[in-house]
Amino acid sequence: MAKKNVKAKVEDVEKECFVIMPIDRSPKQHPSINFEQIYQELILPIVEGYKKKYYKNKGIYFYKCKLAEPIAPGFILENILDRLANEDNIVIADITDNNPNVFFELGIRFCFRSNGTILICQTTKDKKLPRLPFDVASIKVIPYSPYLTKKDVAEFKREIQQCIDSLEHNPKKDDSPIYLLNVGKLKETIEKLPKLEQENESLKKYIIEKLEKPNL
């Protein structure tokens, strides 16, 4: 009896784009525009409009945006930390105005994840990037105009989707300066983690056995 060819079911894959940015206020350079508007009218539709075919064009990667919610001073919600540490998502960080909360969360992301982080920043009135802090001056930053003209939106869309494409094609390419510079020999530490976890499990098992059967 001839065997039937059973085709593997290919499902669409939903990923998350976590967005960290100043919220509930307007940028210094453009006081008439609110960051919430930038998120709703620029970032969200561009990211959620991204779709990438895979596995012989039978499945699609796509992203859902999640905006970091306002938090009380000195307190970070557990779900924000989880999302910053998540290796399966991407993070877009808007560093406009050098907002301290954004940079704090960006630092956490760079520590937890070696890649998957995209920096963006509003341009000044003459459509140039403002002077950035020394620590991020060497990192690629995608500029965007808050005036949201068709030309501005199209250019920003092209840049963002190129970055996402690059992350999909090179998922192990580092973009965190901590990993790129191997600060504190972090790469070697990360590589040892599976072995350390295995050793810890063996030690835990040994201790439990001794406690249950002390005469052995």
Confidence of residue 17 (pLDDT cuts 50, 70, 90): very high
Q: Write the pLDDT tens digit of every residue in 140-149.
A: 999 999 888 8
Confidence of residue 173 (pLDDT cuts 50, 70, 90): confident
- Residue-level pLDDT at 76: 59
What size, in residues, is the chain?
Answer: 216
Q: Write the pLDDT tens digit of every residue in 108-118.
A: 899 888 889 99
Nearest to 71 by CA among 42, 102, 28, 26: 102
More confident residue, 184 or 114: 114
The answer to whether 84 and 109 have CB atoms below 8 angstroms apart is yes
The rounded percent of the chain whose pLDDT value lies above 70 is 72
The CA radius of gyration of the chain, in Å to the nearest whole number, is 22
- The residue type found at 33 is I
- Residue-level pLDDT at 43: 95
Nearest to 37 by CA among 148, 118, 127, 160: 148
Going edge to edge, which strands form the sheet with 90-94? Answer: 51-54, 59-67, 13-20, 90-94, 117-122, 141-144
What residue has token string 């895979």?
Answer: 54
Taking the whole predicted model, whether its pTM rises above 0.85 is answered as: no
Mean pLDDT, the chain, integer? 79
Q: What share of the chain is helix, strand, coil (3-state, %, to 5)?
A: 45, 15, 40
More confident residue, 71 or 20: 20
pLDDT tops 60 at residue 197? no
Angle between the N-to-C axes of helices 78-85 and 100-112, in degrees from 0 to 180, rounded to the nearest 10: 50
Confidence of residue 93 (pLDDT cuts 50, 70, 90): very high
pLDDT tops 80 at residue 36? yes
How many whole angstroms separate alpha carbon 84 and alpha carbon 63? 16
Strands (E), 24-172: 51-54, 59-67, 90-94, 117-122, 141-144
pLDDT tops 80 at residue 181? no
C-alpha pair distances (Å), 203 with each of 95, 194, 206, 209:
45, 14, 5, 10
More confident residue, 29 or 2: 29
The answer to whether 56 and 6 have CB atoms below 8 angstroms apart is no
Nearest to 119 by CA among 145, 89, 140: 140
What residue has token string 């907002």?
Answer: 99
- Residue-level pLDDT at 207: 47
- Residue-level pLDDT at 153: 93
- Residue-level pLDDT at 7: 54
More confident residue, 104 or 199: 104
Q: Write the pLDDT tens digit of every residue in 70-80.
A: 555 545 566 78
